[in-house]
Structure 1
Amino acid sequence: MEAAKAHIIIKGVGAISPLGFDSASTATAYTSGIPAFKTILHQGTPTPVAALSAEAEEHLQDLLLANPVYKQLDRSVLMAVYAARQAAVQAGWLNEPPPTDDDLAVNIGSSRGATGLFEEHFEAFQQENLSSSASPTTTLGNLSSWVAHAVNAGGGQISHSITCSTALMAVANGVAWLKSGMAKRFLAGGTEAPLTDFTIAQMKAVGIYSRLTDHPYPCQPYAAEKHNTFTLGEGAAVFALEQVFNPAPGTLVVEGVGLGFEKLVSKTGISAEGINFQKSMRQAIAQLSEHDRQVDLVITHTPGTRAGDKAELAAIRAVFGDNLPLITTNKWLIGHTLGASGALSLQYALHVLQYQQFTAIPYPHHLPQQESTSIKRIMVNAAGFGGNAASVIVSVVK
């Protein structure tokens, strides 16, 4: 008799982004296909960004008011706490007394961390008025420790940054910890609050920031026109993971995780062939059953940069050959949320699996024309400065 197979299931999802503050509001936004961008003045120059909606901002402020201690925290930490509590509630973990064996581990990551608060404290430092809270509230470890407090987690707590692959690598960590037995429950995700003067200026200095301030789609992955359209957004998404045997039909499962790396060939670590993507995608696919490795849709990283978008598409073609899956992205709707981007793309994947629909990219693009099909398995990609990449494959139990 064949032994029962263990599955890593997604028991809960929490997110806050320019598209919404819960699964219902986010689903409505994805169905409408209306981008969440606005134009701000950054150092006197009109600049497109994707900020939280007014409703989402109101919910975040409610969280802030609910606990006076949160007033000292960076926006990235607040969004992580909001998303993590939402995921834990959905999983049923906050409706139970805290377990005595501290079996809930947390891994929340961010590319930039507490950049807004750091900028505030640095300005105070220049004025010789630095607060004693500057150091403890700007450490990257702040992310997982405050989330752990908010969800009664007593297990391992990991905060990390591997640039824009951060969130998917947190999911990979969750899978590894659960399979190893080091945790029985795991909260994994990413958060980013990069809409600050210094962070926006850094992206502009790289020379990739979108100048389409008057365009309905300032961020245009795979655009036919040859220009860079990178646009910053903010948000957080967290997933409640467990390992179970024989999950019920309809259960969301993580089937594979892959990590890739390539030697630096540029400031951003992008090769024309997308070697890092090829490695991460192949590693994730290798974890599927040898007799069933069909991927129906790839949600790509594609931040709207000419070199990055082209490299990822080349990598997908190299990996899948003639059996090319459908390809899409959500960055034309919410921009690039850096360390949170993989998590928000994964949230999008779960939306597509549930509703069997995704909004077609509305501007001229280089994506191959493909016939729509039933979407049973989705791969999500992410990559970051330094040559790293991560891929996660999700599906629904039949």
Structure 2
Amino acid sequence: MTRRVAITGIGVVAPGGTGTKEFWSLLTAGRTATRRISFFDPSPFRSQLAAECDFDPAAHGLGLQEIRRMDRAAQFAVVCTREAVGDAGLELEELDPTRLGVTIGSAVGCTMSLEREYAVVSDEGRRWLVDHTYGVPHLYNYLVPGSLATEVAWEVGAEGPTAVVSTGCTSGLDTLGHAVQLIREGSTDVMVAGATDAPISPITVACFDAIKATTPRNDDPEHASRPFDRSRNGFVLGEGAAVFVLEELEHARRRGAPVYAEVSGFASRCNAFHMTGLRPDGREMSAAIDHALRQARVNPDDVDYVNAHGSGTKQNDRHETAAVKLSLRDHAYRTPMSSIKSMIGHSLGAIGSIEVAACALAIRDGVVPPTANLHEPDPECDLDYVPLQAREKRLDTVLSVGSGFGGFQSAMVLTRPDGGER
């Protein structure tokens, strides 16, 4: 018998507010958290806006040594972990540490600290031969992405499988898929899993400027992220994290843990086509959706809501619209589909986990978050994208999809728990 996997705890750090409550309040109100970049002077760049987190690590319980040691992305992950464990009512000392694992997704790792330290050791880039003696003792931790998972494992005392999943912008979905598989196969009973990225730095902004993937709508940052809108012209960079407590369902029931949702299906595909390009027919994403639905044992007509990747690039929006039509067929036109990136930007590897958090909360409250800034839909994007305002609707089956550079396409299905709901 296949072991079932439940979400029993959620922790979120996102633009517009730290904590799951603040995150969900922003989404359901349809507010946006995009603004001009404040971390550095963005004036030399084509795109000068982002969705930044107003995050004070000390105010959220991190000590001075932790703040010195950890990159901002690691700080996000640890703060989210503490919220998720508390939310799940998990007594860590009562768990077998060898049956507790960690998976953390990230697209760009400790980018902010690496860039900062390079500027120091190279004297702002003036020295080709850098002076390593100016580097901080924790520089190696910033280089190795595994340090993100290590910090979370130390936080919860996990001695089971621990890993980092880095598959670009699908990392946040893929890391959860990996965690679910570890529980299903019996390697663990509990996984602390999620994703984090803090990429708002000059090097990241320059990279996306070079390929013109981010929007240059600098005169109106609040309304710059416009998924599925005719006037969209690129995504808005963001940052943040979401971490979950995932449990084998019977394990959760034995301790009386309320359940947000069951992770019923997951699949990932690669188009083996182009680093950034997407075929317009959406077949690779559709293949992931189809497999995830089969694994969840639900029909296309059972899907009540699609949480879109919805980055706000013409190529992506049309690609996933086509994919959803291929998989859900006529039901696609009756299914609400929205993009929360319109409100909190695109936090690269973290966004998939943040979107799954939104899906779990949507199931709990029976609310579909809106697509902000959608005033004039692209005629080629002709589904119901829930423009501007949240919508009340009972949700039993929710589909979340992601698309990433490298050709990655992932899909996850969440279903309403059959008893023990929050």
TM-score after normalising by structure 2: 0.86
Aligned to 1:121: 117
Kept in 2: contact 1:165–1:342 (CA 8 A): yes
Tell me, in whole angstroms, the C-alpha distance in 2 between the residues paired with 1:26 and 1:63.
Answer: 15
- Comparing 159-168 and 284-293, the one that deviates more: 284-293
| CA distance in 1 between partners of 2:283 and 2:300 (Å) | 24
The DSSP-based 3-state class of the residue aligned with 2:246 is strand
Deviates more, 1:329-338 or 1:344-353: 344-353
Once the two structures are TM-superposed, the CA of residue 191 in structure 1 deviates from its matched residue by 0.3
Q: Deviations over 1:111-157 (max 9, x none)?
A: 00000111112122313133343113331001100011112212111
Give the whole-Å Cα distance in 2 for the aligned partners of 1:351 and 1:251.
7
* Alignment of structure 1 residues 226-305 onto 2, 5 Å: 227-245=232-250, 251-265=260-274, 267-289=275-297, 294-305=302-313
1:239 deviates by 1.1
> Could you tell me how far apart the structure 2 residues matched to 1:205 and 1:253 are?
40
**Equivalent residue of 1:286, what SS?**
helix
* Distance in 1 of aligned mates of 2:24 and 2:70: 29
Cα 1:250–1:197 shift into 2, 3 Å: closer
**RMSD, matched Cα:** 2.2
Q: Does 1:357 align with 2:367?
A: yes
2:343 corresponds to: 333
Which amino acid counterpart does residue 8 of structure 2 have in structure 1? K
Q: Post-superposition shift, 1:385?
A: 0.7
Moved over 4 A (4+): 246-251, 290-293, 369-373
Which of 63, 71, 74 is matched with 1:74 structurally? 71
Q: Which amino acid aligns with 2:197?
A: E
Kept in 1: contact 2:270–2:409 (CA 8 A):
yes
Percent of aligned positions that are identical: 24
Partner of 1:287, secondary structure, is: helix
CA distance in 2, matches of 1:310, 1:378: 21
- Which stretch of the first structure deviates more once superposed, 254-263 or 244-253? 244-253
| Equivalence map 1:154-165=2 (5 Å) | 154-165=159-170
CA contact (8 A) 2:271 2:408 kept: yes
Partner residue in 1 for 2:128: none
1:343 alignment counterpart: 353
Secondary structure, counterpart of 1:213 in structure 2 = coil
- Could you tell me whether the CA contact under 8 Å between 2:9 and 2:88 is conserved in 1? yes
- Does structure 2 conserve the Cα–Cα contact (< 8 Å) formed by 1:84 and 1:239? yes
Q: Which amino acid aligns with 2:262?
A: V
2:208 maps to 1:203: yes
Greater shift, 72-81 or 26-35, is seen at 26-35
State whether residues 270 and 387 of structure 1, in contact with CA within 8 Å, keep that contact through their aligned partners in structure 2.
yes
Q: CA deviation at 1:313?
A: 0.6
TM-score (norm 1): 0.91
Aligned residue among 170, 173, 187 for 1:182: 187
| 1:15 has 2:16 as partner | no
2:103 matches 1:107 = yes
Q: 1:214 to 1:356 in 2, by over 3 A?
A: farther
Deviates more, 1:273-282 or 1:376-385: 273-282
Q: List gaps (5 residues or longer) in structure 2.
A: 124-130
SS at match of 2:168: coil
Q: What are the superposed Cα offsets for residues 149-180 of structure 1, whole Å, 9 maximum, x if unpaired?
A: 11221211101210011011111111110011
Separation in structure 2 between the aligned mates of residue 230 and residue 292 of structure 1, nearest angstrom: 29
Whole-angstrom CA distance in 1 between matches of 2:301 and 2:248: 21
1:102 deviates by: 2.1
1:92/1:250 CA distance change after superposition, 3 Å = closer
Paired residue for 2:50? 49
Single out whichever of 120-129 and 193-202 deviates more from structure 2.
120-129
1:118–1:251 distance in 2 versus 1, CA, 3 Å? closer
Match of 2:148 among 139, 143, 146: 143
Equivalent residue number for residue 318 of structure 2:
310
Measured at CA, do residues 163 and 96 of structure 1 come closer, stay the same or move farther in structure 2, by a change above 3 Å? Answer: closer
Per-residue CA deviation, residues 170-196 of structure 1 (Å, 9 max, x unaligned), is 111111100111111001111010110
**Counterpart code for 1:259:** S
Structure 1 residues 292 and 231 mapped into 2: Cα distance closer, same or farther (>3 Å)?
A: closer
Counterpart secondary structure, 2:323: helix
Partner Cα distance (2:259, 2:105) in 1? 29
Deviation at 1:44, TM superposition (A): 3.3
SS of residue in 2 equivalent to 1:263: coil
Q: How much has 1:290 moved relative to structure 2? A: 5.7
Distance apart, 1:96 and its partner CA: 4.1
Q: Distance in 2 between matches of 1:304 and 1:149?
A: 37
Task: Note the alpha carbon deviations across 1:39-74, whole angstroms, 9 max, x for none.
Answer: 134143571110013xxx13x333464252331211
Question: Given that residues 263 and 269 in structure 1 are in contact (C-alpha distance below 8 angstroms), is that contact kept between their aligned partners in structure 2?
Answer: no
* Aligned partner of residue 93 in structure 2, secondary structure: coil
Query: Which deviates the most, 166-175 or 127-136?
Result: 127-136
Between Structure 1 and Structure 2, how many residues are aligned? 388
Q: Is the contact between residue 278 and residue 315 of structure 1 (CA under 8 Å) also seen in structure 2?
A: yes
**SS at the partner of 1:86?**
helix
Q: Mark the CA change 1:369 to 1:116 in structure 2 (over 3 Å): closer, same or farther.
A: closer
* 2:149 paired with 1:172: no
Can you give the 5+ residue segments of structure 1 that lack an aligned partner in the other structure? none
- Structure 2 residue matching 1:393: 3-state secondary structure: strand
Is the CA contact 1:285–1:293 (under 8 Å) kept in the aligned structure 2? no
Structure-1 residue corresponding to 2:225: 219
User: Is this contact kept in 2: 1:261–1:279, CA < 8 A?
Assistant: no
